[in-house]
Amino acid sequence: MRRLRVRHSTKFSPLTPSGLLARAMLGVLVFIVLHAIGFRAYTTILSGTSPTGEQVAYADMLKMVSYVLSYLFSTIVAPILLIGAVLLAVLQRKFVKSGRSSAETESGSESPERASEC
Amino acid sequence: MRSAEVRVNNLKRTFFLILSLLIGAAIWLPCFHLLFRTDLRSYRTDGALPEKTRALAARHMALWQDTDFKDQELGQMRAINAEWDFMGRTFLVLSLANMALSEPDKEAEYLDVADKIIADTLRLEEEEGLYHFLMAYARDMPFVVQPPRSLFLDGEIALMMAARRLVEEKPEYKLLMTERIDTMVARMSESPVLAAESYPNECWVFCNTVAIAVIKLGDILDGPRHGDFIDRWLEITKRELLDPGTGLLYASYDVAGAPLQGPEGSSIWMAAHCLQLVDEEFACDQYQRARKELGGSFLGFGYAREWPHSYKGPPDVDSGPVILGISPASSGLGFMGAAAFDDTEYCRQLLTSLRFGGFPLETEGRLQFCASNQVGDAVVLYGAVVGPLWEKARLLEEKGS
């Protein structure tokens, strides 16, 4: 179990291409879900208009903010993370010694070898 | 030794991560606008309406066919600014008139909605009075020229009627429009700069250029009566009401002609468009200056500033929230201006911004821009269809002369 946990945290460290990829995909997934359940309509609050015609509630504001943030993340940040992931994979393959990941050490997790020893 | 190697590797990884993200940003940001860039023809064509524009119009048409829907939409806008309710009507009627000229087979349908809007507006003005469509501060002091009237209302109501009559004559509007034009001319003539008040001792260039356009339309429709007045207005306006720094028209001035506010994006685009009817050269000059002083683009996204760099006015309900000098109101009207002056590239850039930041939402064949409201959407619709109405006015003028 522990070995699995360690491997998981290593794979998705922010210093790894797969970590960047995972974050980009997660952000886009959140956006797709929010869009699918109709949160886009809450952006009418930006112009002072309630999507329901009723007084704008705190929950409506939260929906609007979460939609706008996930939208900005998906359209601006996620593609940068995706491109960054590809570039990082190339750079690391070329210039960083393969084998044990130093990222995992930095993030406080143990190496797979060490974990297997435990 | 091992620890040093790990540290070097970590440093390398961090460095490569930052480098990768920076290169990623350098690659993505210039391409980002392509996600939202659209063929201008999906919104704006000569002839039949494109699908998007039809969907945008459908929502406005539905608004005027469903009283609850209308009351909800307009009521929310009125809670912020009663003027928006009124201006939304004007831009929608102008749009419908252009649409009727573009699609003669749907003329009756469009004119029916336009007539509903005009009738409802006249009824409200009569029942609720002058202040119904004005902001509350209109009551703070008396109008300089008595009895109190607002050129904002007179000009746009007359413009709605003129637009409708340009498409197809409606005899009952003829007298109403002529009376309003005579009233406007009389009140403008009391000012040394031939400007009438929209609010007490506030003459707005937006309203005064709408007024001069509708005076011209009155001449085209009902015979030339105000040629000298229009010539004098143009001469005085060019001499007295231009900001010396930019050459743009002041946004507002008092009845004596003293400037109150410098050039503003939320006024100048419409002013230039209205001037197209009376002095094409002056109109083009104002548009080009506005484009230079206020228009811009960043990474493929178009925007319009509210004020030129040389002048910083107070943000108000017209400008909306101004961020880094950029105003959504100015940008929306800038789209209309760019369309009216066939500035295709700027039009496309502004449309790209609108598709990114306007949060378009299409449901059941009806399109709205969520970050906008009814008046904002009506301005965009007008930008999408603008052209045939002014063109018809020019043709009628040529025929008449």
Residue B1 has pLDDT above 60, yes or no: no
Model confidence at B237: pLDDT above 90: yes
| B79-94 pLDDT, tens digit each | 888 999 999 999 999 9
Task: Give the closest residue to B326 by CA, choosing from B347, B349, B296.
Answer: B296
Among B7-11, B48-52, B255-259, the minimum mean pLDDT is found in B7-11
pTM of the model: 0.89
Where residue B68 falls among pLDDT bands split at 50, 70, 90?
confident
| Distance between CA atoms of residues B149 and B131, nearest Å | 9
Tell me the C-alpha distance between B272 and B318, whole Å. 17
**How is chain B split among helix, strand and coil, in percent rounded to 5?**
65, 5, 25
With 0-12 CB in 10 A as exposed, 13-18 as middle and 19+ as buried, what is B375? buried
CB atoms within 10 A of CB B192: 11
A84 in contact with B, Cβ within 8 Å: yes
pLDDT score, position A28 = 97
Residue B253 is classified by DSSP as E
Among B2-6, B247-251, B365-369, the range scoring the smallest mean pLDDT is B2-6
Which residues does chain B have within 8 Å of residue A41's beta carbon, measured at their own beta carbons? 361, 370
Give the residue from B298, B359, B374 with the most A CB atoms within 10 Å of its CB, the best one to mutate: B359
Alpha-carbon distances of A73 from A21, B17, B192, B341, B371, rounded to whole Å = 13, 18, 55, 36, 18
Residue tagged 């039809």 (tokens):
B54
Model ipTM value:
0.84
Q: Is the pLDDT of residue A114 over 50?
A: no
pLDDT at A10: 61
Residue A3 has pLDDT above 60, yes or no: no
* B13-31 residue pLDDT tens: 889 999 999 999 999 999 9
Of A68-82, A91-105, B119-133, the range with the lowest mean pLDDT is A91-105
Question: Residue A43 has what pLDDT?
Answer: 93
- Give the whole-angstrom CA distance, residue B272 versus residue B283: 5
Token pair belonging to B268: 């100048």
Who among A48, A71, A97 is closest to B9 (CB)? A97
**Chain B hits for A53, Cβ within 8 Å:** 72, 76
Check pLDDT > 80 for residue B338.
yes
For the cut 80, the answer to whether the pLDDT of residue A1 exceeds it is no
Looking at residue B100, its amino acid is: A
**Which residue, among B7, B8, B27, B28, would best test binding to A if mutated, counting the most A CBs under 10 Å from its CB?**
B28
pLDDT over threshold 60, residue A56: yes
- What average pLDDT is seen over chain B? 93
- pLDDT at residue A117 greater than cutoff 70: no
pLDDT at B104: 94
Answer whether B24 sits within 8 Å of A84, measured CB to CB.
yes
| B372/A48 CB distance under 8 A | no
Least confident residue range of A38-42, A100-104, B15-19: A100-104
- CA dist B157 → A21, B89, B258, B306 (Å): 57, 9, 27, 26
Q: Quick check: B185 and B232 in contact, CB under 8 A?
A: no
Does the pLDDT at position A46 exceed 50?
Answer: yes
pLDDT of A101 over the 80 cut: no
Confirm or reject contact between A52 and chain B (CB < 8 A): no
Q: What percent of chain B clears pLDDT 90, i.e. is strictly above it?
A: 81
Cβ–Cβ gap A50/B5 under 8 Å: no
Look at B23 and A44 and tell me if their CB atoms are within 8 Å: no
- What does each C-alpha distance from B316 to B172, B176, B246, B320 come to in angstroms? 38, 33, 21, 6
pLDDT confidence of A110, banded at 50, 70, 90?
very low
What is the pLDDT at residue B2?
67
DSSP string covering chain A, please?
Answer: -HHHHHHHHHHT-TTSHHHHHHHHHHHHHHHHHHHHTTGGGGGGGGGT--SSSSPPPHHHHHHHHHHHHHHHIIIIIHHHHHHHHHHHHHHHHHHS--SS-HHHHHTTPPPHHHHHH-
B376-396 pLDDT, tens per residue? 999 999 999 999 999 999 999
CB-defined contacts A:B, below 8 A: 99
pLDDT tens-digit readout, B161-203: 999 999 999 999 999 999 999 999 999 999 999 999 999 999 9
Domain ranges of chain A: 17-100
How far apart CA B23 and CA B28 sit, in angstroms, is 8
Percentage of chain B lying above the pLDDT 70 cut = 98
DSSP B270-300: HHHHHHTTT-HHHHHHHHHHHHHHTEEEETT
pLDDT (tens digit, 9 = 90+) per residue, B222-234? 999 999 999 999 9
Asked if pLDDT for residue A62 goes beyond 70, the answer is yes
pLDDT tens-digit series, residues B201-220: 999 999 999 999 999 999 99
Q: Which amino acid is at B396?
A: L
Contact B63, B69 (CB under 8 A): yes
Q: Is A53 an interface residue toward B (CB < 8 Å)?
A: yes
Per-residue confidence (pLDDT) for residue A2, from 0 to 100: 47
More confident residue, B40 or B259: B259
